[in-house]
Amino acid sequence: MKLVFATNNQHKVDEVQKMLPEAIQLLTLSQVNINEEIPEDYPTLEGNALQKARYIYEKYGHSCFADDTGLEIAALNNEPGVYSARYAGEQKNSEDNIDKVLANLGATANRKACFRTVIALIIEGKEYLFEGRVDGDILTERHGEKGFGYDPIFRPEGFAESFAQMPLDAKNAISHRGRAVAKLVDFLATL
């Protein structure tokens, strides 16, 4: 089965491809000659994931899936949430985003947070949603070189290291995206 993953984020593509069975061929937007920016202007993760998947399916006719992910920090009223990628501005700079989170938290004792991923799948016009979540804490400084986005400052519950310190396979086994993709893969196996 061929599925288009509606993202331009190569880090996400690499993570998800490693979790998919060989029977599923993941195609990137560039591989199917989709080069425009896909809209995502809903105020929820679910809305954005569906908007991106519908855009690809309705405009190009490809079975596809799209995701949206947000870091939700309790002490910041669940910010940055749906605005995680562009928290510090439209340039979507991860270092700037991390700096803003750390500055906004300051010395706050409550550093509880969660990552949530919602995947919207469209196959032959039928829509499905899958959600993954991982709880943890925001560290006071960066730790590790692996991963991307907020990984250097997010420590999942029950672990001593940040996502950026974990091998990719270990991170995928417990991450929000890994959990959502596992549900997607289980569903695809039933088709």
User: Angle CA(45)–CA(50)–CA(55) in degrees, nearest 5?
Assistant: 130
User: Is residue 68 annotated as a catalytic residue, yes or no?
Assistant: yes
Length of the chain: 191
| 49 phi/psi in degrees, rounded to 5 | -60, -45
Cβ distance 141 to 109 under 8 Å?
no
DSSP 101: H
Amino acid at 141: E
DSSP 125: T
Q: Which of 14, 67, 68, 169 is labelled catalytic? A: 68
CA–CA separation, 105 and 9 (whole Å): 27
> Looking at the annotation, which residues are catalytic?
68
